[in-house]
Amino acid sequence: MAEITILEAVNLALARALEEYPDVVVFGEDVGVNGGVFRATEGLQKQYGTERVLDTPLAETMIAGMAIGMAAQGLRPVAEIQFMGFIYPTIEQMICHATRLRNRTRGRITCPMVLRAPYGGGIHAPEHHSESTEAIFAHMPGLRVVIPSSPLRAYGLLLAAIQDPDPVVFLEPKRIYRMMKQEVPDDGEALPLDVCFQLRDGTDVTLVTWGAMTHETLQAAEQLEAEGIGCDVLDVATIKPLDMETILNSVAKTGRCVIVHEAARTCGVGAEIAAQLAEHGLLSLFAAVQRVTGYDTIMPMFKLENDYMPSTERIITAVKKTLEEA
Amino acid sequence: MAEITILEAVNLALARALEEYPDVVVFGEDVGVNGGVFRATEGLQKQYGTERVLDTPLAETMIAGMAIGMAAQGLRPVAEIQFMGFIYPTIEQMICHATRLRNRTRGRITCPMVLRAPYGGGIHAPEHHSESTEAIFAHMPGLRVVIPSSPLRAYGLLLAAIQDPDPVVFLEPKRIYRMMKQEVPDDGEALPLDVCFQLRDGTDVTLVTWGAMTHETLQAAEQLEAEGIGCDVLDVATIKPLDMETILNSVAKTGRCVIVHEAARTCGVGAEIAAQLAEHGLLSLFAAVQRVTGYDTIMPMFKLENDYMPSTERIITAVKKTLEEA
Amino acid sequence: MTNEEKKCIAKFEIHYTQLLNQAGERVGPLPEFAASYETLLALYRTMVQTRTFDSKAIALQRTGKMGTYSSSLGQEAVATGIGHAMLFEDVLLPTYREYAAQFQRGVAMSEILRYWGGDERGMAYAEQPHDMPITVPIATHVPQCAGIAYAMKLRKEARVAVCVLGDGATSKGDFYEGINLAGAWQLPMVVVVTNNHWAISVPRKVQSHAQTLAQKAIAAGIPGEQVDGNDVIAMRHVMSNALEKARSGGGPTLIEAITYRMHDHTTADDASRYREQAIVDEHKRLDPIDRLRKYLIANHNWDDTKEQALHDACAADVEAAVNSYLDTPPVPPESMFDYLYETLPDALQSQRDEVERRGKQQKGGD
Amino acid sequence: MTNEEKKCIAKFEIHYTQLLNQAGERVGPLPEFAASYETLLALYRTMVQTRTFDSKAIALQRTGKMGTYSSSLGQEAVATGIGHAMLFEDVLLPTYREYAAQFQRGVAMSEILRYWGGDERGMAYAEQPHDMPITVPIATHVPQCAGIAYAMKLRKEARVAVCVLGDGATSKGDFYEGINLAGAWQLPMVVVVTNNHWAISVPRKVQSHAQTLAQKAIAAGIPGEQVDGNDVIAMRHVMSNALEKARSGGGPTLIEAITYRMHDHTTADDASRYREQAIVDEHKRLDPIDRLRKYLIANHNWDDTKEQALHDACAADVEAAVNSYLDTPPVPPESMFDYLYETLPDALQSQRDEVERRGKQQKGGD
Ligand SMILES: Cc1ncc(C[n+]2csc(CCOP(=O)(O)OP(=O)(O)O)c2C)c(N)n1
Ligand SMILES: Cc1ncc(C[n+]2csc(CCOP(=O)(O)OP(=O)(O)O)c2C)c(N)n1
Ligand SMILES: [Mg+2]
Ligand SMILES: [Mg+2]
């Protein structure tokens, strides 16, 4: 079995879903002949036809709205938003309808749709192409928000998102799209949408992260290991709903926690995790929870993007700070 | 001087701003002849003419976009979104442009606009008329988010928002629009946009809240006082940027904190405050911070809205819980 | 250089259909269905029933037994024509004034009352599996309609998706994005714009400088036409043609139905603040029910006895619906968690427990 | 009932203007400005300069000295005509292909390079106070343009707001909302749709079933027309007329300029994946620069010497801009906080301090 990237794993999961479920429809801007600007949908139109893999007009509100309509009719739409920076026109549809259709109709009409978008910075892209605004979606009741950080998880979580009977926003960390390779058996097996994944075992401090930041976080953990500091690294993966149990168990073990995310700090998902740790884990905590995040500034254009995004160094500094305390 | 309601204070501040600043323009759906569906703009078109007080076509994206254009040209647009449930189409404009114009042009072009919207539940309104999604805006770098909770603060904070050289989302707690009256001198004096307001002094527990929830929170404080429990009640008022200093000082005094908001709990603004308390106030805290919030469900239609929204009783229970601990 | 020197590269026309004038007289040949007394009676009955329902609903709101309600007074012919022309397997995406269409499609009057009574169960539509519930956020249902129509097209079903929206709604971008997609993908879809002259207090002319709303279709490259929305025969006819065209693969149509909102925007509104009663009264002369009644009297021996019997029957139906509404068992508070996801996530269990516990305590305490 | 039996209530036509054909020959009477050699030369120079800039920018990207860049190759006449027709006090809202207009309006080539070099200072536009920076989120600038136009109208200024967008952009709702407002409020505003046949890989016909994009104006009740966007004289002419109309209170116009995107969408794109080179080559025959050159040769003694001198001058200008770009002093990391608000809120001070401290450490460490 060949090793594949996250991007290829996304492609593989989409192909698998198109193959297995006749109700799956894949669409968005440039997803057809072009195979998506990152090639996530490469070859799918050729394989599954222009009726199931479609280029849409350039209109994100419409993309979300039509996905909802399709889902209401029992299709399983998988819509692509080209970059997370262009996802905002979908918000009205997502918060007013996708998340509410089942509730509003007491289960008569459901909305099994997936909205995919590459997200995050670090690829020297133009303005608006480096957004990490997952917290906006994490605040919406009725939604699932899922972020893979490895080829295996990209495959398994995307299949899970497509199989899920409710709406899922699926954010793909584009900086690591091609960064690592793994053997990914194309077995059609979904991964669970309600658990964090433990990436590394350690007893001194818990590092909680997701998306491309798993990369910096694992690097930090490795460097810290060399200094004799053992890190428990958790990839939250499904940031809504949150699997706090796993996080709390880890913190019960380590007594210390650093949360790492790329998004702006204020009202980011890290705040929710930190708040719940303070609520339920106060007795286990030996030190204040640290958040290493993007700043509360506009994501700068690429000359400064590395100054904005959490670095291995910033994570290590935060870990050491929690170790100094108490 | 007659006593006036929050709604009348909003109207008074708008009139004052129209009077004082020739650049102020007020617009939105039904704000003209009709004076707004809540009458916040009543009489303004008659007084200041159809060129400065305008009914727009029904299109929220356009309302936000045109406000940005006007602001870029040095006007001071004050746009109304009829209900917060219809504010979502403005998000792309707000997050991509209003908040970024100054930064992107290195100060060459600025965006002194105000986006007003009534928000919150409790008035037995139809679907989508009871939203509290301020956290979405609180996550946007470059924005200010302001919520008054009394006639005096409605007047002073709205004037401040209009005077502010940067974009402000101004959310009006419609449930208490007409609930209380105060004498409000029409002196054109703005209140500061960077402080919490202390509504009640106490040493046993800090209650942090904003908007209509100040009402339940003050009621709870009063009942608790009768039981000998003294509450320090803070109205955050400007939820972005946050005045954590005042909150931390209060918690340093009381050692206990309950945060109350109407919005869904997960990734609400309460999470950010709780996270910062855990980061910076850990040593002062005798008990875990409690959040009393709306649930992580769709805001139910009005038969159940009271079961959704924090009640005086729920606040009291939470306060007692923090007092039991440690 | 004047226009004459430029090359004309595209031409468009917008047409208008009226079959009965306001006196109830034929102004053109009537379509086949209008020869059937049963059909005309069905149309008439739906309009009368809807109006009977309407005034009862307003009364319920006024007496504190229901929340805000949006009246369809004066506009009954539009939704009646739509509902009558559609097949059951089609899908309707209504706003909050298409009761007449919803009733014909199996939605119970008691469900509509429950909805305005602040209860999600009013959108469960026991007898209507596919239709979307009332859409409150303006125009958001147009792209959804396109998605539904695409599902039908993909599955090669002979079904049509129909969405209805107001004149004000045509200003919103998603209306345009939806009709543009309908054109681009040639979807089996009919979009009806109910031009009732008002969007709350904002008159039609403030919405757009376009002289008709039907011409908005030209932007999407689809046919657009206008119809007298107070002439139920014309409405039913134009709607049928559009449905047939869509059903047989002919693509989408936009229909602008001209009518008038006779009541306040909703019971929360006070239209006297922004419009003259005299103008409203003038529009009374165009009333759709009066018009069909005149035609029935002149052509089908309709008389006061039949009229009275019909009104009595409608009143009885409405009465039954109101009783059913008022007898609705209370909704358990914890149900707010039960339709959020197919399976409640663990993360929400404790919140649900809290609400359930409190609900039981309060019940116990009563 | 056939259409003939329906009443026609509105008629529309869309016109097309071309003044020079692809051989550079007059196909109609030329407007007055075209009699001036200086004017034609200015237009020609801008197009050549923009193209010279373009190939240099692509080279900078290819050699790792700049980020992603969007080429305007083949489309230079559109923005040249726009920029030349506008007055300095007007306001331009461009996308990412209107360099020719921006250069004429005082934006430095080095600023555009800085922008694509990932530096906000590339939008500070030292010599251009009012124009909006390049807009990346498609069509979002159309409602902004309406707001700007309203400010002008309110202040009774004889200014016009101009926004430019692509064929793909016409599918987005805010485009429609913006032009609808322009019509409703009769704003001094011109909207130019640069139809370059492609939106990344998506061909124009996938965007809309409308046979022209100009006819989208009909939905807004405003005039819409088409122009040969590779004919800079026609472009300048049609643009001037629209500006004059807007400036004198005559309201907005939508102009669809037909051109062709000769390069990849951006340097991050590979157009060979989705379009045949043969079709691209065919469009080469329509090149706007070649066309005006032929006209200049035939009518104004333009020759190779002059051509070479012009190219040399443009190359020198571009060279200077590139040097200025490459010499740009580094941007301090903490500057990401300095233009967020007029005054940095206290809440952000510690974040700024952290970034500044780290920046100094790194510098110290180098
Ligand atoms: C997106 C959005 N904005 C605002 C509102 C508030 N609102 C409800 S109805 C209405 C007017 C709608 O007018 P029209 O489309 O003509 O429909 P009508 O009420 O006349 O049937 C407005 C502004 C809303 N429901 N949704
Ligand atoms: C709202 C939004 N969606 C998607 C994109 C990504 N994107 C950038 S350019 C482009 C195509 C634009 O096509 P068109 O409007 O024809 O302009 P052109 O590039 O041809 O000049 C797309 C989809 C974007 N920038 N903004
Ligand atoms: Mg209307
Ligand atoms: Mg294009």
| B282 and B164, same domain (yes or no) | no
- In this predicted model, what pLDDT tens digit does every residue of C78-119 receive, in sequence order? 999 999 999 999 999 999 999 999 999 999 999 999 999 999
Our answer on whether the CB atom of D138 is closer than 6 Å to any ligand 2 atom is yes
Atom number, ligand 2, closest to the C-alpha of residue D200: 11
In this prediction, residues C163-168 reach a mean pLDDT of 98
Q: Using CB atoms, pick whichever of C143, C181, C345 lies closest to residue A241.
A: C345
Q: What is the mean pLDDT of chain A?
A: 97
In terms of domains, do B308 and B225 share one?
yes
Residues of C annotated as catalytic are 261, 265, 274
Atom of ligand 2 nearest to the CA of D95: 21
Residues B89 and B118 in one domain: yes
Which pLDDT score is estimated for B25? 98
For residue C136, the ligand 1 atom closest to its alpha carbon is: 25
For position C1, what pLDDT does the model report?
46
**For B29-73, what is each residue's pLDDT tens digit?**
999 999 999 999 999 999 999 999 999 999 999 999 999 999 999
Considering the domain architecture, whether residues A51 and A131 belong to the same structural domain is answered as yes
Residue B201 has pLDDT above 80, yes or no: yes
Is residue A190 one of the residues assigned to a domain? no
Least Cα distance to D153 among D252, D239, D232 occurs for: D252
* Residue to mutate (ligand 1; options C135, C172, C200, C256; most atoms within 8 A of CB): C200
Task: Looking at the structure, tell me whether residues A139 and A237 fall in a common domain.
Answer: no
DSSP string of C2-36, one letter each residue: -GGGSEEEEEEEEEEE-SB-TTS-BSSPPPGGGG-
Task: List the domain boundaries for chain C.
Answer: 26-331, 333-366
Residue nearest to atom 17 of ligand 1 (CA): C166
Return phi, psi of residue D272, to 5°: -65, -15
Six-digit token pair at C328?
Answer: 């609705």
3 state SS of B77: strand
Ligand nearest to the CA of C94: 1
Q: Which residues of C touch A103 (CB under 8 A)?
A: 120, 339-340
Contact between C294 and C225 (Cβ < 8 Å) = no
Mean pLDDT across A45-74: 98
- Is pLDDT at D3 greater than 90 in this prediction? no
pLDDT at A219 over 80: yes
With a 6 Å cutoff on the Cβ, whether C199 touches ligand 1 is yes
Size of interface B-C (CB pairs under 8 A): 105
Q: Which positions of B are annotated as active-site residues? A: 129
> How many angstroms separate the CA of residue D324 from the nearest CA in chain C?
42
A263 contacts on B by Cβ (under 8 Å): 139
Same domain, residue pair B128 and B241:
no
Q: Which of A42-46, A52-56, C143-147, C358-362 has the lowest mean pLDDT?
A: C358-362
Name the residues around ion ligand 3, CB cutoff 5 A.
Answer: C 166-167, 196, 198-199
* D276–chain A Cβ distance below 8 A for any pair: no
Q: Give per-residue pLDDT as tens, B225-258.
A: 999 999 999 999 999 999 999 999 999 999 999 9
Among C133, C111, C136, C118, residue whose Cα is nearest residue C66: C118
Cα Rg, chain B, nearest whole Å: 19
Tell me how many degrees the CA angle D21-D27-D29 measures, rounded to the nearest 5: 135
Atom of ligand 2 nearest to the CA of D75: 21
Residue B191: inside a domain, yes or no?
no
Distance C340 CA to ligand 1 centre (A): 26
How confident is residue D1, by pLDDT bands cut at 50, 70 and 90?
very low
pLDDT at D203 > cutoff 60: yes
Sequence-distant (6+) residues with CB within 8 A of B35 are B41, B42, B43, B44, B45, C273
Q: Which ligand is nearest to the CA of A57?
A: 2
> Are the C-beta atoms of residues D234 and D17 closer than 8 Å to each other?
yes
ipTM for the whole complex: 0.98
- C247 and C159 in contact (C-beta within 8 Å)? yes
Give how many domains chain B has, as a whole number. Answer: 2
CATH architecture under which domain D26-331 falls: 3-Layer(aba) Sandwich (3.40)
Q: What gap in Å lies between CA D173 and CA D277, rounded to an integer?
A: 32
- What distance in Å separates residue A202's CA from the closest CA in chain C? 25
Assess whether A126 and A82 both reside in one domain: yes
Q: Which atom of ligand 2 is nearest to the CA of B92?
A: 1
- Specify if B42 maps to a domain: yes
CB contact under 8 A, A279 and B270: no
Of B127, B139, B277, the CB nearest to A268: B139
CA of D229 to the centre of ligand 4 (A): 13
Residue predicted with more confidence, A202 or A281: A202
Bridge-based pairing state of the strands D7-17 and D224-228? parallel
H or E element at residue C255: strand C253-258
The token pair that represents C233 in the structure block: 């025969």
Residue C3 has pLDDT above 60, yes or no: no
Take residue A74 and report the two structure tokens written for it: 């029992």
Determine whether the shortest distance from the Cβ of C168 to ligand 1 is under 6 A.
yes
Cα–Cα–Cα angle for C164, A62, C99, rounded to 5 degrees: 20
- pLDDT at residue C365, rounded to an integer: 52
pLDDT at C366: 47
Q: State yes or no: pLDDT of B217 exceeds 70.
A: yes
Q: What is the pLDDT of residues A276-288, one digit of tens each?
A: 999 988 888 999 9
Arithmetic mean of pLDDT over chain B: 97
D168 close to ligand 2 (CB < 6 Angstrom): yes
Q: How far is A103 from chain B (nearest CA, A)?
A: 8
The whole-angstrom separation of Cα A140 and Cα C213 is 35
Average model confidence (pLDDT) across chain D? 96
Residue appearing with tokens 């798993």 = A214
Residue A283's pLDDT is 81
- pLDDT above 90 covers a percentage of chain B that reads 97
Q: Which pLDDT does position B326 carry in this prediction? A: 59
Arithmetic mean of pLDDT over chain C = 96
**Is B292 near chain A, with CB under 8 Å?**
no
Measured distance CA(D14)–CA(C219) in Å, rounded: 12
User: Is B172 touching ligand 1 by the criterion CB < 6 Å?
Assistant: no
Query: In the listed set B121, B156, B183, which residue is the last one of a domain according to the structure?
Result: B183
On the question of pLDDT at A141 being above 50, the answer is yes
- What is residue A99's predicted lDDT score, i.e. its pLDDT? 98
C221 CA to centre of ligand 2 in angstroms: 21
Please answer yes or no on whether C132 and A62 come within 8 Å at the CB atom: no
Closest to D206 in 3D by CA, of C221, A52, C217: C221
Q: pLDDT by residue (tens digit) across C317-330?
A: 999 999 999 999 99
Distances (CA, A) of B226 to B44, B198, C174: 45, 20, 54
Band the pLDDT of D363: cuts 50, 70, 90.
confident
Q: Is the CB of D169 under 6 A from ligand 2?
A: yes
Q: Provide the residues around ligand 4 (an ion) whose CB is within 5 A.
A: D 166-167, 196, 198-199
Query: Domain for residue A150, yes or no?
Result: yes
**DSSP sequence for A53-121:** EEEPPS-HHHHHHHHHHHHHTT-EEEEE-SSGGG-GGGHHHIIIIITTHHHHTTTSS----EEEEEE-S
We report the CATH number of the domain holding residue B161 as 3.40.50.970
Provide mean pLDDT across the span B21-35: 98
Report which ligand 2 atom has the smallest distance to the Cα of D207: 16
Closest by Cβ to C359, choosing from B61, B301, B307: B307
| Contact check, Cβ <8 Å, A307/D333 | yes
Report the chain C residue with the minimal C-alpha distance to residue D216.
C219
Touching partners of C (3+ C-beta pairs < 8 Å): A, B, D
Nearest CA distance, B64 vs chain D (angstrom)? 8
C-beta neighbour count of C300 within 10 angstroms: 13
Q: Which CATH number fits the domain that encloses residue B244?
A: 3.40.50.920
Does residue A258 sit in the same domain as residue A155?
A: no
Residues of D whose CB is below 8 A from C7:
15-18
Residue of D96, D105, D150, D336 to mutate, interface with B, max B Cβ within 10 Å? D150
C71 pLDDT above the threshold of 50: yes
Q: Which domain, by its residues, includes B24?
A: 3-183
Mapping DSSP to helix (H, G, I), strand (E, B) and coil, where does residue D352 land?
Answer: helix
CA of D294 to the centre of ligand 4 (A): 27
Residue D365 is predicted with a pLDDT of 52
Question: Out of D140, D152, D161, whose CB is closest to B92?
Answer: D140
- Tell me if residue A173 falls in helix, strand or coil: strand
Residue written as tokens 């009829």? B82
pLDDT at D4: 44
Residue B281 lies in a domain: yes
For D62-108, how does the pLDDT look when each residue is reduced to its tens digit (9 = 90+)?
A: 999 999 999 999 999 999 999 999 999 999 999 999 999 999 999 99
B86 C-beta closer than 6 A to ligand 1: yes
* D192 CB near ligand 2 (under 6 Å): no
Q: Which tens digit of pLDDT belongs to each residue from A87-108?
A: 999 999 999 999 999 999 999 9
Residue type, A196: C
Identity of the residue in A72, A241, A243 whose CB atom sits nearest the CB atom of C148: A72
Range list of H helices, chain D: 37-62, 76-85, 99-104, 109-116, 141-154, 173-184, 204-207, 216-220, 232-247, 277-284, 288-300, 304-326, 346-365
Among the partner residues A96, A104, A135, nearest to B139 by beta-carbon distance: A135
**Cβ pair C182, C174 in contact under 8 A:** no
